């Protein structure tokens, strides 16, 4: 079964058609036209997935959620041992017993990015350290919710067409949004550790990262690439 059905894709396509496309004369235009069908389709998919809510009737959605929990916690038990709701979800940074509540606003795409981060974006050691820090008695933060915040910020730029130029340069929208997302976490990790931040500092740190996404998204992408190869 697919993550998104045809009706949902059609609805998302209509919304995505409102994304601005204009030809600008500057070397780094605010909105760059997507002449590639592949890039346009990737952009559409990103927007579409952000509009798809978690569905109890779609087993693939549970597969994603379950996989996220198992990878982050290094849980080797079967999927049947994981309850759909319960306090265990707070351990990986959801706000309550039902993780689906936190997906509102970013849809399944937010879940996809979280899964990308822990399955491909970070090493298992880094994931373990991130989880440990998120549950620290002093420096704790809601890991999953933090990631969903980065997704929301990135989606805003995607919908405004402000990442088009970078997608054209990299020849991939998926690579760009996931790279920026990974860069957000790496930047967050460094700031949180070096400044001995606590949850009261989150708003300020979040605003700094939002500003970087807006003004210097390439730096986040470069951070992700360079760190990945070190």
Domain count across the chain:
1
For residues 220 and 212, the answer to whether their CB atoms sit within 8 Å is yes
- Report the percent of the chain where pLDDT is more than 70: 81
- In this structure, is residue 25 part of a structural domain? no
Q: Using the CB atoms, write b or e for 136-171: b if 16+ within 10 Å.
A: eeebebbbbbbbbbbbebbbebbbebbbbbbbbebe
29, burial (CB in 10 Å: exposed 0-12, middle 13-18, buried 19+): middle
- Give the pLDDT band (50/70/90) at residue 99: very high
Per-residue pLDDT, 155: 97
Q: How far apart are CA 222 and CA 13, in angstroms?
A: 30
The candidate with the shortest Cα–Cα distance to 109, out of 154, 69, 79, is: 154
90 pLDDT above the threshold of 60: yes
- For residues 229 and 219, the model is more confident at 219
- Give the pLDDT band (50/70/90) at residue 183: very high
Q: How far apart are CA 177 and CA 167, in angstroms?
A: 9
Q: What average pLDDT is seen over the chain?
A: 87
Domain residue limits at 170:
6-20+32-228
- Give the pLDDT band (50/70/90) at residue 4: low
- In this structure, is residue 162 part of a structural domain? yes
Per-residue pLDDT, 75: 80
- In this structure, is residue 192 part of a structural domain? yes
- The pTM (predicted TM-score) of the whole model is 0.86
- Give the pLDDT band (50/70/90) at residue 198: very high
- In this structure, is residue 221 part of a structural domain? yes
- In this structure, is residue 149 part of a structural domain? yes
- In this structure, is residue 199 part of a structural domain? yes
- In this structure, is residue 1 part of a structural domain? no
- In this structure, is residue 26 part of a structural domain? no
């Amino acid at each position: 079964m697919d993550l998104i059905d045809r009706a949902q894709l059609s609805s998302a396509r209509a919304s995505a058609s409102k994304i601005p496309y204009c030809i600008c004369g500057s070397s780094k235009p605010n909105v760059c036209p997507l002449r590639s069908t592949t890039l346009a389709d990737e952009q559409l998919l990103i927007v579409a997935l952000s509009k798809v809510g978690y569905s109890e009737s779609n087993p693939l959605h549970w597969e994603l959620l379950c996989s996220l929990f198992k990878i982050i916690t290094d849980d080797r038990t079967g999927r049947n041992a994981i309850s759909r709701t319960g306090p265990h979800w707070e351990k990986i940074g959801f706000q309550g017993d039902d993780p689906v509540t936190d997906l509102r606003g970013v849809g399944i795409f937010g879940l996809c990015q979280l899964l990308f981060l822990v399955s491909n974006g970070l090493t298992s050691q880094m994931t373990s350290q991130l989880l440990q820090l998120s549950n620290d008695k002093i420096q704790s933060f809601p890991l999953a919710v933090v990631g969903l915040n980065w997704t929301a910020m990135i989606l805003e730029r995607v919908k405004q067409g402000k990442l088009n130029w970078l997608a054209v340069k990299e020849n991939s929208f998926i690579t760009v949004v996931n790279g920026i997302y990974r860069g957000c976490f790496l930047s967050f990790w460094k700031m949180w550790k070096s400044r001995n931040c606590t949850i009261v500092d989150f708003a300020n740190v979040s605003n700094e990262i939002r500003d970087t996404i807006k003004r210097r998204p390439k730096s986040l992408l470069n951070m992700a690439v360079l760190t990945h190869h070190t």
